Amino acid sequence: MKTLARLVLGLVILDAVVAAPTLPSINYDSETYDATLEDLDNLYNYENIPIDQAEIEIATVMPSGNRELLTPPPQPEEAQEEEEEEESTPRLIDGFSPQEPEFTGVLGPHTNEDFPTCLLCTCISTTVYCDDHELDAIPPLPKNTAYFYSRFNRIKKINRNDFASLNDLKRIDLTSNLISEIDEDAFRKLPQLRELVLRDNKIRQLPELPTTLTFIDISNNRLGRKGIKQEAFKDMYDLHHLYLTDNNLDHIPLPLPENLRALHLQNNNILEMHEDTFCNVKNFTYIRKALEDIRLDGNPINLSKTPQAYMCLPRLPIGSLV
Ligand SMILES: *[C@@H]1O[C@H](CO)[C@@H](O)[C@H](O)[C@H]1NC(C)=O
Ligand SMILES: *[C@@H]1O[C@H](CO)[C@@H](O)[C@H](O)[C@H]1NC(C)=O
């Protein structure tokens, strides 16, 4: 009996011990389980975002750092720009090997380093960069200058002596200045000038230009009816690009040289054109095969009025046909 009583008591106690805490503990657990899971989730997410990013940063910083160590140091800005600008003109053309400029800069007779303009601007080999220097006149240039850049300055006038006896000069780029006047002789005597870029200025009248030019850009200026001389481009046998966009021209400058590839005249005041502007109305076997890019859009001209004018062209001009 004693044993049975102990057994029953033990069972009751056991039941009480087992049953009493289980119900509240289950409730407690089930209530807090979700909460703690959410909390854990939140903790996991919030804490893991920075950790992941940190890991990603470490992962990306490390190899790129290594890569930087492996790649050669970047070239100076000027040297890169020069490469881009002179893509079409091989460096060897002026007789220098690519390494030579630095060398001659120290030792050779071609050094321009102590030329006054080269202290202000940047001279690399035969190229002079004077972009964005608040210049109000063309600075004196070393005698062997082949490429001259003076964009984004305040130059108002080009004088007859500015480029005098620069017999190696091949490119002049005076984009975005305030040029309104150019002396008649400013460019005429430059025997090797090939590229003339005077866009974004206030030029009303072009001076006489050397016939060696291959590339002319006088876009966005004030060239009007008398801005371009009669037959100004006639003898430029190597002229490929003639850009006269955004001026006030009322006619197409004639005659156009035979090798011209691109003629841009958009946004001018050209009202009419003749049947023989591009072609030869007396000879239908004539083909002007080089001229593939004619822009006449933005002019008050009706291209439909001269249907015979495009017979010899590889492509129709772009402009209003209605
Ligand atoms: C017509 O043009 C062709 C090609 O330019 C030329 O060979 C030919 O001599 C010209 N004929 C005349 C009569 O001018
Ligand atoms: C353009 O010229 C064609 C041919 O002469 C004509 O039919 C058309 O009406 C003209 N369009 C305008 C806008 O003057």
- Could you list the mean pLDDT of each consecutive 10-residue stretch along the chain, which spans 322 residues? 45 42 40 40 40 37 37 43 41 37 41 83 96 96 97 98 96 98 96 98 97 98 96 97 98 96 97 93 93 96 93 93 66
Contact partners, residue 203, CB within 8 Å, separation at least 6 = 179, 180, 182, 218, 221, 222, 223, 227
291 CA to centre of ligand 2 in angstroms: 25
CA dist 150 and 42 (Å) reads 61
296 CA to centre of ligand 1 in angstroms: 28
- Say if ligand 1 is within 6 A of residue 230 CB: no
Residue 112's pLDDT is: 75
- Say if ligand 1 is within 6 A of residue 283 CB: yes
Residue 28's pLDDT is: 39
96 CA to centre of ligand 1 in angstroms: 44
Pocket test for ligand 1, best of 259, 281, 283 (most atoms within 8 A of CB): 283
- Strand partners for 217: 197, 243
299 CA to centre of ligand 2 in angstroms: 14
**What would the two tokens of residue 4 be?**
């049975």
Residue 277: other Cβ atoms inside 10 A: 17
Contact 186, 165 (CB under 8 A): no
307 CA to centre of ligand 2 in angstroms: 11
- Say if ligand 2 is within 6 A of residue 304 CB: yes
Q: Whose CA is nearest to atom 5 of ligand 1?
A: 286
- Say if ligand 2 is within 6 A of residue 320 CB: no
- Say if ligand 1 is within 6 A of residue 282 CB: no
Q: How many residues does the chain have?
A: 322
304 CA to centre of ligand 2 in angstroms: 6
Residue 111's pLDDT is: 62
Q: Whose CA is nearest to atom 11 of ligand 1?
A: 283
Q: Specify the residue for token string 């005077």.
A: 198
Contact 124, 145 (CB under 8 A): no
Contact 193, 185 (CB under 8 A): no
- Say if ligand 2 is within 6 A of residue 302 CB: yes
284 CA to centre of ligand 1 in angstroms: 8
Which ligand number lies closest to the CA of residue 319?
Answer: 2
Residue 110's pLDDT is: 54
Q: Whose CA is nearest to atom 5 of ligand 2?
A: 305
SS (H, E, C) the chain: CHHHHHHHHHHHHHHHHHHHHHHHHHHHHHHHHHHHHHHHHHHHHHHHHHHHHHHHHHHHHHHHHHHHHHCCCCCCHHHHHHHHHCCCCCHHHHCCCCCHHHHHHHCCCCCCCCCHHHHHCEEECCEEECCCCCCCCCCCCCCCCCEEECCCCCCCEECCCCCCCCCCCCEEECCCCCCCEECCCCCCCCCCCCEEECCCCCCCCCCCCCCCCCEEECCCCCCCCCCCCCCCCCCCCCCCEEECCCCCCCCCCCCCCCCCCEEECCCCCCCCCCCCCCCCCCCCCCCCCCCCEEECCCCCCCHHHCHHHHCCCCCCCECCCC
Residue 19: other Cβ atoms inside 10 A: 9
Residue 151's pLDDT is: 98
Residue 266's pLDDT is: 96
Q: Whose CA is nearest to atom 13 of ligand 2?
A: 322
Residue 193's pLDDT is: 98
283 CA to centre of ligand 1 in angstroms: 6
